[in-house]
């Protein structure tokens, strides 16, 4: 084929109209798809497949959709009840009384009758101190008392004789003046006064001897150590044979015998923060919780220091706790619930119903089941309830929970929720 023939053939093809048969159209589409970017093709295929799926989901969801104006919400009723603000403090039990018993006289520990854990009664003998020289001192004091008593008897006889002589001479002088020399009368008077003085001195010596003997006998009683009150022996410091110094001595070697604690009645020490001391008074009722014993009971504030410690910024409060069975052990910790403020017959709502963003408001559901936002004034607050001073009425229904799904003026379906389930 010549060059002229090739040119003629090309012109014929350009002049020939395109073929619109089905086979020719499909081939053109395929050729077009090949020329497009593969990303565009993928997007178109995904879009084509998603349309039926979306239609099926939308058709299935339509029957169960709840209209926005009938959205169910949880509500609570505004009621009146007593409110009390509570403060929980950690406290510690300690003995009602506790002392270390010392000996009042020095000596050797002869016998000790108790050990740790023993319960003793007031006046019960606990130990005895051996003081051998004290017995000799008592015998000497008794002998001195006997001697002084005899001196008193002699002094009384001498005084009676001298006084009798002077009395007779004085009587004769009155009846028959100048019969007896004045010198004899003066001498008799002097002997009368001197014997009276000797008698008084002898009696004083008897009193001194009696006091000395009484002192030694008292010291002998001190050698017997007795319990000053009923309690439990919680510590023992010495054993028989130990040298015990007198408790009144300033020596560093002074050693106590035992420690006695009154545990049938305990003191519960409660440190109250300075922020709440104004609300704590003697006689207030409290709740005591013992986690270690799983026990809970009530008590009353017995006393307080009425002074805030600068180091801890707390005031010490004490509660008397009866412990006849000794189940409560000193040193145990307890949780004490103090009632700080109290409101009777207060208008209350759950805390979950109150919003405090810019101002305190609640969502109220009116009689037409429409949501209304109301500002309120708050009073006493507890962990679960809060007092409403203004803005609500008794038996109003307030919304509880998140407000993100509702708006003021929207119609809702209120569902009353019990308050105990909220707490």
pLDDT in tens, 304-331: 999 999 999 999 999 999 999 999 999 9
- How many whole angstroms separate alpha carbon 168 and alpha carbon 163? 9
Proportion of the chain above pLDDT 90, given as a percent = 47
DSSP 127-152: EEEE-HHHHHHHHHHHHHHHHHHHHH
Rounded to the nearest 5 percent, the helix, strand and coil shares of the chain are 35, 35, 30
- How many whole angstroms separate alpha carbon 316 and alpha carbon 307? 8
Q: How far, CA to CA in Å, does 60 sit from each of 55, 66, 70, 243?
A: 9, 14, 20, 99
Proportion of the chain above pLDDT 70, given as a percent = 81
**Beta-bridge partner residues of 235:** 259
Residue carrying the six token digits 């020095």: 106
- For residues 73 and 410, is the Cβ–Cβ distance under 8 A? no
Tokens, residue 222: 């001190």
**Beta-bridge partner residues of 107:** 244
Domains and CATH numbers, the chain: 22-62 (no CATH), 73-83+344-422 (2.40.420.20), 106-226 (no CATH), 264-342 (2.40.30.170)
pLDDT tens per residue across span 363-390:
999 988 999 999 999 988 888 899 999 9
Asked whether residue 29 carries a pLDDT value surpassing 60, the answer given is: no
**Beta-bridge partner residues of 322:** 265
- For residues 354 and 386, is the Cβ–Cβ distance under 8 A? yes
Question: What is the pLDDT at residue 363?
Answer: 93
Average pLDDT for 86-99: 93
Cα 241 to chain centroid distance, Å, stands at: 43
HSE-up (13 A, CA, CB side) for residue 315: 18
* Close Cβ partners of 5 (under 8 Å, ≥ 6 residues apart): none
Average pLDDT for 199-223: 91
Exposure string over 350-385, b if 16+ CB within 10 A, otherwise e: bbbbbeeeeebbbbbbeeeeebeebebebbbeeeeb
Q: What is the DSSP letter of 197?
A: H
- How many whole angstroms separate alpha carbon 86 and alpha carbon 383? 9
Asked whether residue 21 carries a pLDDT value surpassing 70, the answer given is: no
Indicate the pLDDT class of residue 182, thresholds 50, 70 and 90.
Answer: confident
Residue carrying the six token digits 């270390």: 100
pLDDT tens per residue across span 48-84:
666 655 565 554 444 444 444 478 899 999 999 988 8
Question: What is the pLDDT at residue 7?
Answer: 44
Question: What is the pLDDT at residue 245?
Answer: 86
The neighbour count for residue 298, using CB atoms within 10 Å, is 10
**Beta-bridge partner residues of 378:** 388
Nearest by Cα to 101 from 217, 214, 220, 231: 231
């Amino acid at each position: 084929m010549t060059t002229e023939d090739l040119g003629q053939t090309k012109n014929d093809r350009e002049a020939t109209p395109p073929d619109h048969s089905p086979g020719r159209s499909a081939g053109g589409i395929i050729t077009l798809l090949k020329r497009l970017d593969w990303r565009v093709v993928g997007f178109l295929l995904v879009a084509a497949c998603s349309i039926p799926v979306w239609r099926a989901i939308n058709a299935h969801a339509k029957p169960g959709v709840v209209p926005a104006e009938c959205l169910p919400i949880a509500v609570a009723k505004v009621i009146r009840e007593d409110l009390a603000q509570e403060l929980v403090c950690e406290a510690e039990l300690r003995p009602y009384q506790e002392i270390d018993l010392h000996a009042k006289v020095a000596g050797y520990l002869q016998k000790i009758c108790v050990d740790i854990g023993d319960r003793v009664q007031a006046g019960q003998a606990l130990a005895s101190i051996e003081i051998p020289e004290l017995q000799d001192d008592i015998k000497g004091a008794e002998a001195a008392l006997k001697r002084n008593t005899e001196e008193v008897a002699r002094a009384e006889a001498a005084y009676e004789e001298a006084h009798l002589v002077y009395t007779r001479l004085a009587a004769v002088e009155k009846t028959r003046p100048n019969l007896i020399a004045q010198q004899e009368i003066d001498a008799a008077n002097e002997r009368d006064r001197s014997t009276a003085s000797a008698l008084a001195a002898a009696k004083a010596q008897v009193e001194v001897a009696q006091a000395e003997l009484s002192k030694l006998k008292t010291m002998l009683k001190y050698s017997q150590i007795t319990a000053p009150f009923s309690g439990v022996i919680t510590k023992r410091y010495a054993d028989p044979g130990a040298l015990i110094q007198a408790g009144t001595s300033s020596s560093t070697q002074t050693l106590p015998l035992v420690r006695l604690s009154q545990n049938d009645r305990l003191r519960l020490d409660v440190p109250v923060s300075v922020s709440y001391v104004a609300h704590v008074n003697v006689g207030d009722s409290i709740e005591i919780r013992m986690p270690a014993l799983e026990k809970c009971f009530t008590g009353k504030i017995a006393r307080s220091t009425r002074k805030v410690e600068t180091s801890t910024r707390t005031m010490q409060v004490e509660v008397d706790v009866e412990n006849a069975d000794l189940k409560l052990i000193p040193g145990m910790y307890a949780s004490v619930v103090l009632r700080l403020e109290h409101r009777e017959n207060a208008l209350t709502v759950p805390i979950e119903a109150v919003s405090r963003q810019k101002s305190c408001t609640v969502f109220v559901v009116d009689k037409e089941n429409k949501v209304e936002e109301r500002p309120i004034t708050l009073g006493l607050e507890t962990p679960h309830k809060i007092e409403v001073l203004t803005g609500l009425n008794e038996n109003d229904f307030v919304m509880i929970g998140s407000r993100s799904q509702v708006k003021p003026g929207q119609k809702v379906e209120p569902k009353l929720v019990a308050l105990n389930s909220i707490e």
